[in-house]
A and B are shown apart, each in its own frame.
Chain A
Amino acid sequence: MENHDNHIASYSLNWTVLLGLLILTTLSVLAVEIHLGAFTVALALLIASVKVTIVMTYFMHLKYEGIMLRLMAGGVFLLFAAVIVVTFSDYYFR
């Protein structure tokens, strides 16, 4: 099986990604000031999830990898989210 990933990320791509991540970080720090109650958590987690997706897609090169690795990564996160949901089926209803 030949290498799927013959792509070499350019330096400018790396800089762009960092810029995006820093902007999102600033956003999340500022978002704390806005009092949305329970939604502040959701917003913080949402921004964190976007940052994680960006790091995985570009820095960790998932965008240029084969479908198998991407399916695995996606599945792993989905499974974990499902475990949290099922755990809360107990705690939420107590």
Chain B
Amino acid sequence: MNDQTITPQNYLNHQTGLWSWLTSTDHKRIGLLYLYSFLVFFSTAAILGLLMKIEKIAPGQTIMTAQTYNALFTIHGIIMIFVIVIPGMAVVFGNFFLPIMIGAKDVAFPKLNLFSWYIYITGAFLGLYSQFAYGHSPDAGWTFYVPYSSSAESNMTIALTAAVVLGFSSILTGMNFIVTIHRMRAPGMTYFRMPLFVWSLYATAWIQLLATPIIGITLIMVIAERTFHIGFFDPALGGDPLLYQHLFWTYSHPAVYVMILPAMGVVTEIFPTFSQKPVFGYTAIAFSSLAIALVGYFVWGHHMFTSGMSYESRLAFSLLTFIVAIPSAIKVFNWLSTMYGGSIDLKTPLLYAVSFIFLFTIGGFTGLLQGALAANVQVHHTDFIVAHFHYIIFGGMGFGFFAGIHYWFPKIYGRMYNETWANIAWGFAFVGFNLLYFPMFIMGMQGMPRRYYDFDPKFATGHLISSIGAFILIAGLILIFSNLIYHSRRGAIASANPWHGVTLEWQIPSPPPHENFDEIPVITRGPYVFDNPYTK
């Protein structure tokens, strides 16, 4: 409607000025603080990635030394993993929408929520600082394997501390969300009437809570090794380097489920809305989220198949790795079944959600390949692994993030982005992404190691295609961000429910009022009831 105006009183204009944002305990504003932080840090890490691809556009040295390349992939990994994808969708969309979706006015501990953001910013800046402070930039990879990380001359301790600090932020967010889900649901909102995005946040929060402390103490052990010569991981003092890997991956594998579960949750919201049909298999999806979190705790050894573990444990980890794929497969079947027979509206969010399935499936299948012991020997520490995790994390969580931001954009800002612009941007991103990463599967299978600054000329074509893909992807990202940023201020006014969604966030005005609800709703039915012929 042409004469529609933004809701007079909403969370955006409730109080204005930078200071009101920096001191706000409103979960919606905190979600946006994280979103804008992501924009800055993601762009930084993406540019670092682009620099790496420029270096590898041709054999031999192009624009940097080998040492610089090592530092670049280290900080690219640290920022992307600890600053972007682990906090990920939980801190942006979880913060913004979890309370609304369960009919609450805020999370359980709003001040702690703001504190979590400040800890996050501290950790992120410490990580960046470690690059530029006196001394060498850390170059041990984001995995900080000993003995290099415990002995190398560099600002390793600062980088390690940054990771510990970021972990603390993650723990507090997880704790806040678990209590919120248990204690703050509106009357009538039983656990099995919660939207599935909320279930995914719940499973994620438990992993954040129980896995993160282990990496916290492990990185502290490495700092102690550097400072006090503690020796848990140093064979000269009786330690075992493999023990570091065990402890590191005991966190870092569950961490990848922290990355993907909320993304799965978001697309689980998008499919019913754009099919105007209830989710297929609500209970299966809810329990599969919990199953992924639980079983995902016991597969960490698949990162260490070639490191020297016992044969028996390799067997056990391989079997568990195959088992953990099952709940994910269940979700894929349920998403497709949700769309089947529905009234499909292929808007940008659905476009991203469908490409999420495609990219995530490629990532997932290649994960199974890596989980097979014999095949793992061939592909471990090659570009195959790099391609796999970028398909899962970037193709999965990243595209899931873009799906979510387009889906919820009209609710967050009360304005709509430009659909054509968004779809063109998607095209660039999708094509660029596949050009960038798919050749790595092939090169990796042919023997191209990962984290290598240079390569044999036989890999020249693959690397060239990959680097061209990087430029196309970056162009796509610029198009995505500029579309959203521009239309957040200048977009056409959006109605409260442009997609005809049925979960609680679509029943309140856009942008939401400061306290979400004038009156806490009383819930009388499940979350995916569509008043149309498709509802049984």
Contacts and interface: CB of A to CB of B under 8 A. Distances in A.
Contacts of B250: 83, 87
Given A79-B210, A83-B250, A90 B313 contact: yes
A10 interface: no
Interface stretch (B128-136, B260-268, B304-312, B467-475): B304-312
Nearest to B242: A90
B246 A87 contact: yes
A89 to B, nearest CB: 4
Overall SS of chain B's interface = helix
Contact of A93 (B242, B246, B298, B313): B313
A90 B297 contact: no
Contacts of A87: 246, 250
Interface in B288-314: 297-298, 301, 309-313
Interface string A59-94: 000000000100000001001001100110111111
Q: Which bucket holds chain B's interface residue count?
A: 10 to 19
Nearest to A85: B298
Interface in B238-259: 242, 246, 250
B63 interface: no
Contacts, number: 34
A79 B297 contact: yes
A89 B297 contact: no
Interface string A1-36: 100000000000000000000000000000000000
B311 A93 contact: yes
A57 B43 CA distance: 50
Nearest to A88: B313
A89 B246 contact: no
A93 B310 contact: yes
Given A87-B250, A93-B310, 5 more contacts: A76-B210, A82-B298, A83-B250, A90-B242, A90-B309
Interface of B: 182-183, 210, 242, 246, 250, 297-298, 301, 309-313, 316
22 contacts: A1-B183, A68-B182, A79-B210, A79-B297, A82-B298, A83-B250, A83-B298, A86-B301, A86-B313, A86-B316, A89-B310, A89-B313, A90-B242, A90-B301, A90-B309, A90-B310, A91-B310, A92-B310, A93-B310, A93-B312, A93-B313, A94-B310
